[in-house]
Amino acid sequence: MNTCALTLAQQTSWLTKKIFGAPGASELARDSDSIFMWIFYFSLFWFILLMGLMIYWVIKYRRRPGVPIQRTPHHNTNLELAWTILPSLFLGYMFYIGFQGYIKQVIAPTNAEMIDVRGSKWMWTITYANGVNPPEMTEIGGNPQAPIIYIPVGRPVQFRMTSSDVLHSFWIPDFRFKQDLMPNRYSSFWIEAEAPGDHYLFCAEYCGDKHSEMSAIIRAIPADEYDALLQKWFDDSGNLTPVEAGKRLVESKGGCIACHSLTGAPGIGPTWLNAWGYEVPLTDGTTIPADDPDAWDNYIRESIINPAAKIRSGFAPVMTPFAGVFSEEELDSIVEYIKSLSDKAPAGEIPADDSPEQPES
């Protein structure tokens, strides 16, 4: 069901293709293109007509030597009413069709698949209805940690979104829709993919240094494959060791490795390779002592919940607080994972299987 009359011809026109590149990936997206093109052609028509008349009259009635200046009428109520009311009617119609399309994309069908989205500097954290986070990542632009967000074909998907810090905006150009994410409240919209395929997702609200790398892939796959995939991730997540669980959390739910490298490479935050157990100088002049496991475990925990409490020298206080994001169990796993990346980790010193036999008591 299309909102305006001229749609089909417009959607296939040369100009439409030039403006939009790829055709809209859903019915609502194509409706949106139609409305855009309708307004575009309408404006183009009046622009050419008015500018044409203006140029014609400017030349025709230009000042010539010997021709006296004529008196012109300076008021015509009927004409003025007409050129106020008629365009207003058209503007009213444009508002009406645009607003109607907006409402359609914002109010999801009640049977929609719910996907939670949290925006933070500078990543998207996705949580499916069964609690799992998509573990697959890909490289987009300079960002090797862009998540792949799977959605089912032929089923409405509602994104319920909020932000941990500043405003972000969830923009999927192929679906012709973007919606802001705000701290402390939900915003939402829905899409329905018609065919399997990949679509880019970008952040469309400037949110700091790595804003342009806040991207992801929306990957539509057949609904039965989607259900199986979610089930598989759910089953997998039950059998992870704390270190494996921690690895998954910092990669997917936390997105921490956007700023913390695991290889010793410099980043926005400190690398985690051989971090645990080493001395850390803080900006307040104190240090986290070397070889003190409690101090280090607490430092990690506190740094996740309230990063501003202790700032490492040489780094800017830009980390987003993750208070309330992770359960206690998840925090434990992250600590274990960061620990496992250090050559000071106790596990490296006492191999689990070869430990000396305990004397009988």
Q: Which residues bind ligand HEC (CB under 6 A)?
A: 121, 250, 254-256, 258-260, 268-270, 275, 280, 300, 303-304, 307, 310-312, 315-319, 322, 334
Please enumerate in sequence order all residues whose Cβ is within 8 A of that of 267, keeping only pairs 6 or more positions apart, or say none: 259, 260, 261
Shortest Å, Cβ 133 to ligand HEC: 12
Backbone angles phi, psi at 38, to 5 degrees: -60, -50
DSSP-assigned beta bridge partners for residue 149: 218
Q: How far is the CB of 101 from Cu ion (least distance, A)?
A: 25
DSSP string covering 24-50, please? PSSHHHHHHHHHHHHHHHHHHHHHHHH
Tokens of 135: 């573990």
The residue (of 229 and 318) whose beta carbon lies closer to Cu ion is: 318
Q: Is 146 in the site for Cu ion (CB under 5 A)?
A: no
Quick note: the x/- pattern for Cu ion over 151-190, rule CB under 5 A, is -----------------x----------------------
Q: Which is nearer to ligand HEC, 97 or 305 (CB)?
A: 305
Instruction: Return left, alpha or beta for 198; rule: phi > 0 is left, psi -120 to 50 is alpha, else beta.
Output: beta
Q: Which is nearer to ligand HEC, 173 or 269 (CB)?
A: 269
Q: Which does 268 bind (CB under 5 to 8 A by kind): Cu ion, ligand HEC, none?
A: ligand HEC
Cβ proximity to ligand HEC, 121 vs 219, nearer residue:
121
Asked if residue 207 lies in contact with residue 171, where contact means CB atoms within 8 angstroms, the answer is: no
CA atoms in the 13 A half-sphere facing the CB of 250: 25
Nearest approach in angstroms of CB 318 to ligand HEC is: 5
Q: Which amino acid is at 201?
A: L
Handedness of CA 334, 340, 343, 346 (dihedral sign): positive
What, of ligand HEC, Cu ion, none, does residue 137 touch, CB below 5 to 8 Å by kind?
none
Question: Which lies closer to ligand HEC via its Cβ, residue 26 or residue 320?
Answer: 320
Alpha carbon distance 66, 335 (integer Å)? 92
Closer CB to ligand HEC, 30 or 260, in the complex: 260
Residues at the interface with Cu ion (CB under 5 A): 168, 203, 207, 214
